[in-house]
Amino acid sequence: MLIAGNWKMFRGPDPQALLGLDAVVCPPFTRLRDCVDAGLTTYAQNVHWESEGAFTGEISAPLLLELGVTGSLVGHSERRRLFGETDEGVARRTAAALEAGLNVIACVGETLEQREAGETEDVLRRQVSVLPEHERLVIAYEPVWAIGTGRTATPEIAQAAHAFVKSLLDVPVLYGGSVKPDNAAELLAQPGVDGALVGGASLDVDSFRAICEAARTLS
């Protein structure tokens, strides 16, 4: 069972305080070296499809690997919503990262408007269809309406979405969307849930540790 902490654009906790946790951390670029040097399994929050070039503000898979980073998030809902990430771009980033040797957590999920319109499966099918089946690919299902809102998909909603994603692509699927210590065990106990992509709760060492412990108990 995989637990990954996405620190977003926060400095995050002291990496030394996370030693011993069986988890991935996804810090901002300025903390990648600190996390790698501390011995943590470290992923970037994004990666470009080209290995080098005139792409100001981007980072390539070879540069991440050189730093000791072993994977990357791709297609997080905030990248899609705020920075115009497209399914095509997510596919290119994913394929390039996997080819270069990185692990990838590719994010998919529907907005509240799409869910209320009954479009959840159509959205997930479109987003998943561009991704390759690969031994180093993991998908994170993150209902956009449950990210940073305090709302959480019920275990039943999460299970249904995970089962549908797995019917499209045979890869592990994490749940992401306001995962906290008080709901982690119930979500992680669902048969289709293979771990969690944790946002805000990963910034607090005790909360993140509790979620990792819940996962360890269920493994």
Q: How far apart are CA 191 and CA 126, in angstroms?
A: 24
- Residue 142 annotated as catalytic: yes
First to last CA, the chain: 6
Q: How far apart are CA 86 and CA 88, in angstroms?
A: 5
Q: How far apart are CA 49 and CA 59, in angstroms?
A: 9
How many CB atoms are closer than 10 A to CB 117?
12
CB 2 within 8 A of CB 21: no
> H helices of the chain, where?
32-37, 61-67, 77-83, 87-100, 112-116, 120-129, 155-168, 181-188, 205-218
- Residue 76 annotated as catalytic: yes
State the catalytic residue, choosing from 78, 85, 110, 142: 142
State the catalytic residue, choosing from 48, 76, 78, 110: 76
Which residue's entry shows tokens 């771990």?
195
| Residues tagged active-site | 76, 142
